[in-house]
Amino acid sequence: MDHVEEREFALRLELRRVFPEGYDGDDDGYGWADALPGLTAEIVAAARQIVARAGWSVRPANRGRPTDEEVTLVLERDR
């Protein structure tokens, strides 16, 4: 069995929008964040391209959170 070492690196994105004074709250149902699924797909695709050029492989991993809340990628150094 191979010996495996691991380290963790987190990239956290926080979405926010500033509304003008007098805004009554989430009346729009957070409609301003509707573009998030497309943005996260682009971010994941870009990460995959970058690590592949650097001699790493990447695969998705699931930690039980929905993909609109968290995306986990496992990067493995090519031998």
Spell out the domain ranges in the chain: 31-77
Please check the confidence at residue 54 and state whether its pLDDT lies above 80: no
Mean pLDDT on 4-32: 85
Question: Which band of pLDDT confidence, cut at 50, 70 and 90, is reported for residue 5?
Answer: very high
Would you state the torsion angle of the CA atoms of residues 17, 36, 14, 59, taken in this order, to the nearest 10 degrees? -170
Report residue 79's pLDDT band, with 50, 70 and 90 as the boundaries. Answer: low
Position 7 pLDDT exceeds 90:
yes
Give pLDDT, residue 51: 82
Mean pLDDT of the chain: 85
